């Protein structure tokens, strides 16, 4: 098409070369409405035009539309599409197409066709490492977008990503409430530390004092992630009041930042070893650092990811 009728409702995406300022070019012959914004989700209204009616977005692209907790995806991450074997393949840079003998079940979200939550997880498990997939599974379970049984249904032999998704599901915990709560838990688990997420601390009067991110089972220690919001003045006052209540209940709270989890994890291990009363062995952290190095949370992991999807 060369133009769009001003009398009809403006479509979110159009093919051809519209001569209207209301549309922005995303790729050869596909445009999206300019007023949709400049984020990655807005651009998908144009990319969707390259699929047949049976195709859908999948993998990290579908996860982005669903607003899941996401590891830091590189800016050059391609658009992931799922199509049937006989569907014509979009010949464009920036698109990664997976072929399926059967149509991938999808649902429409804000005008975009996205694979179901379980299918999206399976596609992500094909391209992402274990830590990244556990973050996504935790999000899906926590928000109720899929159940464990629904996820298990897509884990079939010979389906790409099935083994990694099974391993991630075994490590997942629906009680996690953020990306870094999941990462902090995985750090402890990789060092053979038994933890209880969202542990409820109850005072002598039976009143709930607080919920801790992680309780180190068998100790009086709570390990928690402190994000940027904890630096705000009003939040600091609230946190200090909470710390005093925890101290009165006989618990020791230790807060960690993203830098501790990603760049100084041995300090977290040292605190945990001391709380457990066991000898500190820095070598225990090697399992975590090896897994972390493969993930999108590190430059090395992002580089490896781009090589896989190139």
Question: CA 18, CA 55: separation in Å to the nearest integer?
Answer: 24
Q: Cite the DSSP H helix spans in the chain.
A: 40-47, 59-65, 117-127, 130-143, 148-154, 162-171, 179-190, 233-248, 258-262, 265-276, 286-293, 299-309
Instruction: Name the stretches of the chain with pLDDT < 50.
Output: 1-2, 7
For residue 27, give both structure tokens. Answer: 């790729």
* 191 in the same domain as 276: yes
For residue 112, give both structure tokens. Answer: 């975009």
* 157 in the same domain as 223: no
pLDDT score at 230: 67
Asked whether residue 169 is assigned to any structural domain, the reply reads yes
pLDDT score at 1: 47
* 56 in the same domain as 36: no
Q: Which CATH number do you get for residue 240?
A: 3.40.960.10
Region class of 272: left (phi > 0), else alpha (psi between -120 and 50), else beta: alpha
Domain boundary among 124, 140, 173: 173
* 280 in the same domain as 192: yes
Asked whether residue 304 is assigned to any structural domain, the reply reads no
pLDDT score at 72: 96
Asked whether residue 310 is assigned to any structural domain, the reply reads no
Global pTM value? 0.90
* 162 in the same domain as 83: yes
Asked whether residue 83 is assigned to any structural domain, the reply reads yes
* 261 in the same domain as 188: yes
Question: CA 212, CA 227: separation in Å to the nearest integer?
Answer: 14
Domain boundary among 50, 65, 91: 50
Domain boundary among 104, 138, 173: 173
Provide the angle, in degrees to the nearest 10, between the axes of the packed helices 117-127 and 299-309.
100
Q: What is the pLDDT of residues 153-188, one digit of tens each?
A: 999 988 999 999 999 999 999 999 999 999 999 999
* 148 in the same domain as 72: yes
Asked whether residue 135 is assigned to any structural domain, the reply reads yes
pLDDT score at 17: 72
Residue range(s) defining the domain that contains residue 221: 179-299
The structural domain count of the chain equals 3
């Amino acid at each position: 098409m060369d133009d769009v009728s001003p009398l009809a409702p403006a479509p979110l995406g159009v093919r051809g070369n519209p001569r209207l300022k209301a549309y922005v070019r995303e790729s050869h012959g596909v445009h999206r409405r300019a007023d949709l914004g400049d984020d990655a989700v807005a651009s998908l209204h144009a990319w969707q035009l390259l699929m047949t009616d049976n195709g859908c977005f999948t993998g990290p692209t579908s996860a982005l539309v669903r607003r899941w907790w996401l590891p830091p995806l590189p800016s050059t991450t391609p658009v992931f599409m799922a199509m049937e074997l006989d569907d014509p393949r979009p010949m464009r840079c920036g698109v990664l197409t997976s072929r399926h003998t059967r149509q991938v079940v999808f649902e429409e979200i804000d005008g975009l066709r996205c694979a179901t939550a379980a299918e999206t997880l399976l596609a992500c498990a094909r391209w992402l490492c274990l830590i990244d997939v556990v973050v996504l599974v935790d999000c899906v379970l926590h928000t109720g977008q899929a159940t464990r049984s629904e996820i298990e249904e897509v884990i079939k032999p010979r389906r790409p990503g099935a083994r990694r998704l099974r391993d991630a599901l075994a490590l997942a915990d629906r009680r996690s409430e953020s990306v870094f709560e999941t990462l902090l838990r995985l750090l402890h688990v990789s060092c053979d530390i038994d933890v209880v997420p969202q542990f409820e601390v109850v005072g002598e009067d039976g009143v709930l004092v607080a919920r801790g991110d992680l309780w180190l089972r068998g100790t009086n220690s709570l390990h928690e992630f402190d994000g940027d919001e904890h630096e705000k003045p009003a939040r600091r006052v609230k946190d200090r009041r909470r710390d005093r209540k925890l101290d009165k209940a006989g618990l020791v709270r230790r807060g960690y930042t993203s830098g501790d989890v990603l760049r100084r994890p041995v300090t977290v291990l040292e605190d945990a070893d001391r709380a457990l009363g066991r000898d500190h062995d820095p070598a225990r952290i090697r399992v975590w650092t090896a897994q972390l190095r493969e993930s999108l949370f590190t430059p090395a992991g992002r580089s490896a990811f781009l090589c896989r999807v190139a």
